[in-house]
């Protein structure tokens, strides 16, 4: 019998599949928001591995998301007509393949960024990842094959509830399983004290790169889902503000907490919708909230002493 | 050759502005060890102060222009002190990341508040000083460029004088050297930090005016890119190091100007980051900075 | 008895400062050796070179007969050198249990992929490791606080936990950097017993940097003395106590 955690994952996938099958009866607007929530959970959980558990500070998650989004969109949009017949015209084969390829390319980008910059700490690392994120954006703006600054349009709308929540569940499982083992405690040890971790025989660089690569992979997959949800991509959408949005989810969720970060991702995405009615005031309120929360609850929104003990 | 000199002058006048902004980043980093993300938006506010006050202070003449410049610096200094008091002071001794996120929050607040207050569309910046074009052979220098250079040099000298020749400047240096020791010898850390913010923000305000004079339209998001580049300049020079920030600013301005003249011009905005990454990878302490070694 | 750790004319300079100069010393297998000297004599620097934190400017270090040059700290730990730190460096937010468990990591066969698949092999190994962690904690009477975060322990327990964590890497050589610092006389006596007990029970060599002469003289079989980065004496506690150079070095500082 598989372990309990894997049964949970399986159950979530089955439920996502069933609900998805009936998604025709769900209000399209609500459906759209719900899928956005699923993507946000994937992004937040994957960044949580890097920033929360391994104690790094990446401000470039949107850049990796962009790599995944563009790669998978190019596969389905530009090469879809040629590739589809090869898989018997089955979208449910082509689409996840394109997501995985997007994820792998994002992971590759994560490796390229991570490997040289991991010597840096704290705000320096933050700035380098921010820089990489912006460079990725500028590159996409300058490549005409993917629409340049105008963006990429006509991406098929393959994303549905099953894929968004399936991917979110897999991401959460992977991050959880990776950490809940003797091997995985090394991530936390590296975050706590790198020098001591090294003295205990842990290779900090390997842990950090693993976190970066795995985190970037899922950011890339989330990007692919996003591309096939919206139907178009605009390089400006993957700027620094998008990265900040994800970072805020991780911080308000309580850096390095599984449940808190998922809740924060759901809350922050869902709350955007009613706030839209506020128009210009929305972002003003958002930034004020951010400042006040950082001052009053830097440990996150959902962290109480009781929880802390349970998860430690 | 003329082409080269022309680019050099353009690059220097752009670089001087980056230098002014970079100094603010570096001073705050020196005393508080964090990146003040909102600094670039204080720079934007400086431009808008100029925009609104120009007609009232008689811009278009030299005294009028200087009055606008001075008013923008004063307003930004005040804004810097307020931001520090309300947002950063409650976070003393918290983790860098908490402060960094708060700073990002302040930055977003200024940008979005600016869009609400000033309107999101670009505005044409008024003429502050009488403008002429000076010709030296085939070389063309606008009077605005000369003003940028003159004002920047004057402000840099003033800053040097404040930091090295006044009591409060000495206190600033003491604080950035060792905050605990500084408070032990009776330095009022909070007052020095306020002063540092005032000084850095005033320079950003001046930068905002000078920038707007040469790039005639302003908008509430205008701070982001020059701000990031100025930050790169600060890291390039060695963050926390004042001459380093000035040097870094000039270098970034020059590199950017020379790149703009080539075919790679659309990648101009990525260049600053590429430089930053190279610097951090090969000489993380920056050109003039000293490396801190963690004690085991 | 064979030589386990050998320092051969080791010198390290930081800029213009020579912190350690031409020090040669050995630690034999299953031997308890002290490294003493006044403040700033270079004791911790020697530790940092042995554990790969610093590379010597010249001279060589060999462990178990093999040179250690250019090995990283974690590679040296793999080879059997474990250490504690002068100013305790636990994993503060991890539990006491996880502090020790993570140090068993070196002897794991599973890795990231096994953590994901969570197959039977993974479970067997995890259960065995948990058992060993508990065993080790119970030897030192810390199992009662195993679920507390390490940072919440009292100072003395933190010191002991750091030693236990080092033992979990199953070293051949254990380096203890001023383990008695900040302890009162009664605690120091406890600590001396603990160190001797560890050496017997785990059959390992210990190199002890210590300030407190009573502790060093009381338990070490052999002592190296450093002053201003140079080695000025070596011998048994009795020899060291009678050595005029050592007395001169120490009388200026403190009456030990």
Contact between residue A228 and residue B78 where contact means Cβ atoms under 8 Å apart: no
Mean pLDDT of A188-196: 94
| pLDDT confidence of residue A308 | 46
Residue B250 lies in a domain: no
Find the farthest-apart pair of alpha carbons in chain A and give their distance in angstroms, rounded.
58
pLDDT of C255 strictly over 70: no
pLDDT value, residue B292: 59
Amino acid B84: pLDDT? 96
pLDDT value at A108 more than 70: yes
Chain mean pLDDT for chain B: 90
Find the closest chain A residue to B236 by CA distance. A124
Q: What is the pLDDT of residue A186?
A: 95
Task: Give the per-residue pLDDT at C252.
Answer: 61
Q: Min CA distance, B295 vs chain C (Å)?
A: 10
DSSP state letters, B6-34: HHHHHHHHHHHHHHHHHHHHHHHHHHH-S
- Residue B296, pLDDT > 80, answer no
Question: What's the pLDDT score for residue A260?
Answer: 94
Asked if the model's pLDDT at residue C256 lies above 50, the reply is no
Of the residues B83, B277, B296, the best mutation for testing chain A's interface (the one with the most A CB atoms within 10 Å of its CB) is: B277
Alpha-carbon B84 to chain mean position: 17
* Token code pair at residue A35: 């899928």
CA C120, C126, C128: angle at the middle one, nearest 5? 105
Total count of domains within chain A = 1
All residues at 6 or more sequence positions from A209 whose CB lies less than 8 Å from its CB, including other chains: A111, A114, A115, A118
Task: Answer yes or no: is B166 within a domain.
Answer: yes
Residue B4 domain-assigned (yes or no): no
Question: By residue range, what is the domain housing residue A42?
Answer: 26-270
Which pLDDT does position A158 carry in this prediction? 95
Interface A:B, Cβ pairs < 8 A: 112
How distant is the Cα of C190 from the closest Cα of chain B, in angstroms?
A: 26
DSSP string, B214-265: HS-EE-TTTTHHHHHHHHHHHHHH-TT-HHHHHHHHHHHHHHHHHHHTSGGG
Best mutation target among A287, A288, A292, A301 (most B Cβ atoms within 10 Å) is A287
pLDDT number for residue A243: 93
Residue C223 pairs with which residues in a beta bridge?
A: C34, C235
Structural domain containing residue B214: 12-222
Chain C CB contacts of A188 below 8 Å: 91, 93-94, 98, 102
B222-271 per-position pLDDT tens digit: 998 899 889 989 988 988 889 999 999 999 999 988 888 777 777 777 78
- Closest residue of A to C106, CA-based? A201
The percentage of chain A sitting over the pLDDT mark of 90, rounded to a whole number, equals: 60
B4: which 2 tokens? Answer: 């080269």
Integer Cα distance of B196 and B77 in angstroms: 9
Write down the pLDDT at residue C253: 55
Whether chain A has a CB inside 8 Å of the CB on C114: the answer is: yes
For residue A300, the chain B residue with the least C-alpha distance is B98
Give tens-digit pLDDT for C47-94. 999 999 999 999 999 999 999 988 999 999 999 999 999 899 999 999
Tens digit of pLDDT for each residue in A228-241?
Answer: 999 999 998 998 88
Tell me where in chain C the CATH 3.40.50.300 domain(s) lie: 1-80+171-256
User: What is the spatial distance between Cα C36 and Cα C254, in angstroms, rounded to a whole number?
Assistant: 13
Q: Between these two residues, A302 and C144, which has the higher pLDDT value?
A: C144
Q: Decide if A296 is inside a domain.
A: no
pLDDT at residue number A159? 95
> Nearest residue on chain A to C47, judged by CA atoms?
A199
Out of A121-125, A268-272, C250-254, give the one with best mean pLDDT. A268-272
H or E segment at C82?
Answer: strand C81-83
In a domain, A17, yes or no: no
Domain count, chain B: 1
Subunits that touch chain B (at least 3 Cβ pairs < 8 angstroms)?
A: A, C
Q: Would A99 be classed as within a structural domain?
A: yes
d(CA C45, CA C57): 12
Nearest to A312 among C103, C115, C149 (CB): C149
Considering only CB atoms, A123 lies closest to which of B34, B108, B294, namely B34
From chain B, the residues in CB contact with C13 under 8 A are none
ipTM of the complex: 0.90
Residue A16 is assigned to a structural domain of this protein: no
Q: How far apart are CA B207 and CA B152, in angstroms?
A: 8
pLDDT tens across B202-216, in order?
999 999 999 999 887
The predicted model scores a pTM of: 0.89
Among the partner-chain residues B94, B106, B280, the one whose CB lies closest to the CB of A291 is B106
Tens digits of residue pLDDT in B163-191: 999 999 999 999 888 888 888 888 888 99
Q: Does B296 touch chain C (CB under 8 A)?
A: yes
Angle formed by the axes of helices B2-32 and B143-165, nearest 10°: 30
pLDDT in tens, A163-174: 999 999 999 999
Selected residue of A170, A183, A184, A208 to mutate for chain C interface (largest C Cβ count, 10 A): A183
Average pLDDT value for residue range A174-188: 94
Instruction: With cut-offs at 50, 70 and 90, classify the pLDDT of residue B284.
Output: confident
Give per-residue pLDDT as tens, A64-101. 999 999 999 999 999 989 999 988 888 889 999 999 99
The CATH number linked to A169 is: 1.10.3470
At the fourth CATH level, which superfamily is domain C1-80+171-256? P-loop containing nucleotide triphosphate hydrolases (3.40.50.300)
B291 touches chain C (CB under 8 A): no
d(CA A294, CA B271): 33
B94 contacts A116? CB cut-off 8 A: no
Choose the mutation target among B93, B108, B295 for the interface with A, i.e. most A CBs under 10 Å.
Answer: B108
């Amino acid at each position: 019998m598989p372990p309990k955690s894997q049964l949970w994952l399986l159950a979530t996938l089955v439920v996502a599949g069933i609900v998805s099958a009936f998604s025709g009866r769900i209000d399209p607007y609500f459906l759209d928001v719900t899928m956005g929530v699923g993507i946000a959970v994937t992004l937040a959980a994957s960044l949580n591995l890097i920033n929360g558990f391994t104690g790094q500070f990446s401000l470039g998650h949107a850049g990796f998301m962009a790599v995944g989004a563009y790669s998978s969109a190019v596969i389905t949009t530009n090469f879809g007509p040629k590739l589809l017949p090869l898989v018997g015209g089955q979208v449910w084969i082509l689409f996840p393949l394109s997501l995985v390829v997007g994820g792998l390319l994002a992971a590759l980008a994560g490796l390229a960024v991570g490997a040289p910059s991991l010597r840096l700490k704290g705000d320096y690392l933050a700035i380098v990842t921010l820089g990489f994120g912006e460079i990725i954006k500028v590159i996409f703006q300058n490549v005409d094959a993917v629409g340049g600054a105008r963006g990429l349009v006509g991406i098929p709308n393959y994303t549905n509830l099953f894929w968004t929540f399936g991917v979110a569940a897999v991401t959460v499982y992977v991050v959880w399983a990776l950490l809940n083992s003797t091997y995985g405690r090394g991530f936390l040890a590296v975050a706590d004290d790198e020098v001591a971790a090294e003295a205990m025989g842990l290779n900090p660089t390997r842990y950090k790169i693993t976190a970066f690569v795995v985190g970037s992979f899922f950011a890339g997959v989330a990007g692919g889902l996003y591309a096939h949800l919206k139907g178009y991509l605009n390089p400006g959408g993957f700027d620094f503000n998008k990265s900040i949005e994800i970072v805020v989810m991780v911080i308000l969720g309580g850096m390095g907490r599984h449940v808190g970060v998922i809740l924060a991702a759901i809350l922050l995405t869902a709350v955007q919708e009613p706030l839209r009615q506020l128009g210009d005031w929305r972002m003003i309120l958002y930034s004020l909230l951010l400042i006040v929360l950082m001052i009053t609850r830097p440990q996150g929104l959902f962290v109480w002493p009781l929880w802390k003990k349970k998860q430690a | 050759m003329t082409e080269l000199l022309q680019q050099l002058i353009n690059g220097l006048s752009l670089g001087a502005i980056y230098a002014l902004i970079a100094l603010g980043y570096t001073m705050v980093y020196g005393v508080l060890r964090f990146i003040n993300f909102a600094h670039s938006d204080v720079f934007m506010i400086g431009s808008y102060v100029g925009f609104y006050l120009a007609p009232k202070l008689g811009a278009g003449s030299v005294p009028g222009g200087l009055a606008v410049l001075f008013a923008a610096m004063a307003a930004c200094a005040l804004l810097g002190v307020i931001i520090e008091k309300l947002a950063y002071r409650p976070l003393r001794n918290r983790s860098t990341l908490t402060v960094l996120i708060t700073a990002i929050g302040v930055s977003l607040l200024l940008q979005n508040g600016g869009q609400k207050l000033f309107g999101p569309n670009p505005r044409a910046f008024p003429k502050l000083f009488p403008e002429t074009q000076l010709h030296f052979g085939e070389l063309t220098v606008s009077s605005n460029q000369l003003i940028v250079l003159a004002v920047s040099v004057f402000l840099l000298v003033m800053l040097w004088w404040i930091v090295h020749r006044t009591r409060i400047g000495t206190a600033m240096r003491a604080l950035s050297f060792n905050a605990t020791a500084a408070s032990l010898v009776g330095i009022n850390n909070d007052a020095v930090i306020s002063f540092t913010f005032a000084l850095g923000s005033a320079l950003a305000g001046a930068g905002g005016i000078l920038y707007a004079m040469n790039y005639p339209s302003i908008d509430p998001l205008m701070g982001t890119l020059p701000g990031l580049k100025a930050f790169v300049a600060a890291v390039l020079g060695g963050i926390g190091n004042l001459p380093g920030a000035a040097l870094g600013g000039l270098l970034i301005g020059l590199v950017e100007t020379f790149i703009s003249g080539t075919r790679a011009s659309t990648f101009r905005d990525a260049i600053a980051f590429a430089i930053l990454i190279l610097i951090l990878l090969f000489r993380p302490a920056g050109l003039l900075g000293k490396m801190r070694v963690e004690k085991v | 008895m064979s030589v386990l750790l050998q320092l051969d004319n080791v010198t390290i300079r930081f800029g213009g400062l020579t912190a350690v100069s031409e020090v040669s010393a050995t630690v034999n297998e299953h031997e308890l050796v002290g490294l003493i000297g006044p403040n700033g004599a270079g004791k911790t620097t020697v530790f940092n070179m042995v554990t790969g934190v610093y590379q010597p400017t010249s001279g060589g270090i060999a462990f178990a007969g093999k040179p250690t040059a250019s090995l990283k700290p974690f590679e040296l730990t793999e080879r059997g050198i474990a250490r504690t730190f002068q100013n305790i460096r636990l994993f503060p937010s991890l539990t006491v249990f996880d502090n020790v468990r993570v140090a068993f990591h070196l002897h794991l066969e599973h890795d990231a992929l096994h953590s994901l698949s969570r197959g039977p092999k993974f479970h067997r190994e995890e259960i065995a490791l948990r058992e060993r962690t508990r065993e080790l904690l119970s030897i030192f009477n810390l199992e009662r606080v195993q679920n507390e975060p390490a940072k919440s322990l009292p100072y003395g327990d933190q010191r002991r936990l750091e030693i236990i964590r080092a033992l979990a890497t199953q070293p051949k050589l254990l380096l203890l950097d001023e383990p008695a610092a900040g302890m009162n006389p009664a605690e120091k006596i406890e600590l001396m017993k603990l160190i001797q007990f560890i050496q017997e029970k785990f059959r390992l060599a210990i190199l002890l940097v210590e300030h407190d002469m009573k502790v060093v003289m009381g338990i070490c079989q052999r002592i190296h003395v450093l002053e201003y980065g140079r080695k000025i004496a070596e011998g048994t506690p009795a020899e060291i106590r009678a050595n005029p150079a050592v007395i001169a070095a120490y009388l200026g500082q403190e009456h030990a």
